[in-house]
Chains A and B, each alone.
Chain A
Amino acid sequence: SQQGEEDPQALSIQEGENATMNCSYKTSINNLQWYRQNSGRGLVHLILIRSNEREKHSGRLRVTLDTSKKSSSLLITASRAADTASYFCATYRYNTDKLIFGTGTRLQVFP
């Protein structure tokens, strides 16, 4: 079963626009992680936000976490064609060592 669910499932934007992806999860967490996957490749870790943090930045990425709503969002500002990829959130199932991924958002950035 999926711990996280991203929405939208797919997103198409023009270069220079911002892209926002959302993730909802079901149980208590220690942290939430975001990963990126280029087509046919492995996942690459982008950012980890702890449960006691509300916002975190890394370059053009901004992640927010609302533990009361069990949700997180990933914002990519000033998107580039190279940002085209699938983006996944992941959390550990409560009190286990199982890192569970959401279903992903496929982002397409047109030049």
Chain B
Amino acid sequence: DGGITQSPKYLFRKEGQNVTLSCEQNLNHDAMYWYRQDPGQGLRLIYYSQIVNDFQKGDIAEGYSVSREKKESFPLTVTSAQKNPTAFYLCASSATDRGNSPLHFGNGTRLTVT
């Protein structure tokens, strides 16, 4: 089955540690996205990538980093510089047809930093 896999489902870290969230897709989509969701809130865009080896900042990129070395993979690193990292993180992908293709989402990683 085609889809997006995010791992792990739950992640716990101590303050000051960097942590990397995994996102893999087998839909052959060019575009991939990372969103952050806080309780009762909408989604805020962290980073997105339209093609391998290229990515752009979203609205809340500070304290996060990404890489896009392979089409299937778009890992997100939450660095110690992110002031409030506890949140639900969602990865998505779409075919590159700007605005005309729906996003397919993974089931998220819930990160708790104490």
Chain A residues at the B interface, C-beta cutoff of 8 Å: 1-2, 29-31, 33, 35, 40-45, 48, 50, 88, 90, 92, 97-104, 106
Q: Tell me the dominant secondary structure on chain B's binding face.
A: strand
Q: Which of B43, B99, B107 is in CB contact (< 8 Å) with A101?
A: B43
Chain B residue numbers with a CB within 8 Å of A31 are: 99-100
B2 within 8 A of A: no
- Number of chain B residues close to chain A: CB under 8 A: 29
Q: Please name all residues of chain B whose beta carbon is closer than 8 Å to the beta carbon of A43 when the two chains form the complex.
A: 43, 90, 92, 103, 105
For the residues of A in contact with B, the DSSP-based class is strand
Quick check: A88 and B107 within 8 Å, CB to CB? Answer: no
Cα A75 to Cα B27 in complex, Å, equals 30
Are A30 and B107 closer than 8 Å at their CB atoms? no
Per the bound structure, the CA–CA distance linking A53 and B105 in Å amounts to: 26
Determine whether B75 belongs to the interface, using a CB cutoff of 8 Å to chain A.
Answer: no
List of B residues within 8 angstroms of A106 by Cβ? 40
